[in-house]
Structure formats: structure tokens, C-alpha cells
């Protein structure tokens, strides 16, 4: 497993800027990092109740990928199963910590936790299943552990 340095956020405004850039499909591609994914998901869940995240985030990310020059196919771009696993993890994180602290502190604690790790979905899925075209295109049930353990 490769080690990655976690890039933490200094304030709420930086998270809102990323989230709004994703929604507008104007976010610079190099800004759309693992941390940005989780920060945006956190912001949407906490502050954008008008967005049904499980239903709408797939289209939002897919549209962003295309607008920023990417593709969504069987090997790259939007990944439904990974997205849904992280949504469940972010929801579980906020259920535990509440929403009283500033967003950036909540996101930083998420990024520093097991739920924020890049390999988090591999707690539930074998690499073979998680990185299959089927799991990329639609949600598939885990083959290693129940998602109830998020």
C-alpha cells in the first residue's frame, strides 16, 4: 500500500469553493483530488440539503469529468460503487461527530480517519470486484464485509 500525505483544509471557504466548482463544472482538474471528493461530499451532505446526494452526485461528477476533459467509461472516470461507499462513510462520520464544529474541522477529522483513507472501500470489497467495470457502472454489493460496518 502506498502512503499518501493527507492534504487538510485551512477553512470552510476553500471547501465551498471546491464544491461550487464541481457543481458548476468549472473546478480545475488538478484540484479534484481524493480530499476534494470527500470535502465536497461533506459540504453537500451538511449544507446542500437541496441535493439528493446518492441520486444526484453520480450525474454531477460524471458531468464534471466530461467538462474537464475526462471520460466516463469502464476503466476511468466516474465510479458508482466507490462513490456510494464514501457517501455512506461520510454520513457515518457526521452521525458520530455531529455538525457543530466548522466544516473544515469535520472534513479534516474525516480525512485523518479510516473512513477518509484512499483504500477505505477495500475494507468491504476485493480489488477484483471493486475495480470491475460492473462496480464502476452500477453499485454492487460488497464481497468481503457488510457496509453496515461503515
In a domain, 90, yes or no: yes
pLDDT along the chain (150 residues), means of 10: 80 98 97 97 97 98 97 97 98 93 97 97 98 98 92
Q: Tell me if residue 96 falls in helix, strand or coil.
A: helix
- Is the Cβ–Cβ distance between 46 and 94 less than 8 Å? yes
Q: Tell me if residue 4 falls in helix, strand or coil.
A: coil
In a domain, 111, yes or no: yes
The pLDDT value given to residue 150:
75
Helices and strands, counts by H and E, the chain: 7, 0
In a domain, 48, yes or no: yes
The pLDDT value given to residue 3:
66
In a domain, 73, yes or no: yes
Give the distance between the most distant pair of CA atoms in the chain: 40
In a domain, 100, yes or no: yes
In a domain, 7, yes or no: no
In a domain, 20, yes or no: yes
Q: How many structural domains does the chain have?
A: 1
CA pair distance 43, 78, nearest whole angstrom = 19
Domain that holds residue 85: 12-149
In a domain, 5, yes or no: no
SS (H, E, C) 95-133: HHHCCCCCHHHHHHHHHCCHHHCCCHHHHCCCHHHHCCH
Amino acid at each position: 500500500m502506498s502512503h499518501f500525505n493527507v492534504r487538510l483544509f485551512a477553512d470552510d471557504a476553500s471547501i465551498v469553493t471546491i464544491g461550487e466548482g464541481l457543481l458548476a463544472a468549472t473546478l480545475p482538474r488538478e484540484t479534484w483530488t481524493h480530499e476534494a471528493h470527500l470535502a465536497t461530499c461533506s459540504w453537500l451532505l451538511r449544507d446542500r440539503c437541496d441535493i439528493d446526494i446518492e441520486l444526484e452526485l453520480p450525474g454531477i461528477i460524471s458531468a464534471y469529468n466530461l467538462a474537464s476533459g475526462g471520460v466516463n467509461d469502464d476503466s476511468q472516470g466516474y465510479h458508482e460503487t466507490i462513490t456510494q461507499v464514501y457517501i455512506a462513510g461520510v454520513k457515518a462520520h457526521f452521525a458520530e461527530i455531529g455538525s457543530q464544529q466548522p466544516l473544515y474541522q469535520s472534513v479534516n477529522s474525516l480525512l485523518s480517519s479510516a473512513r477518509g483513507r484512499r483504500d477505505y472501500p477495500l475494507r468491504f470489497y476485493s480489488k477484483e470486484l471493486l475495480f470491475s467495470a460492473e462496480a464502476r457502472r452500477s453499485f454492487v454489493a460488497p464481497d468481503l464485509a457488510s457496509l453496515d460496518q461503515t
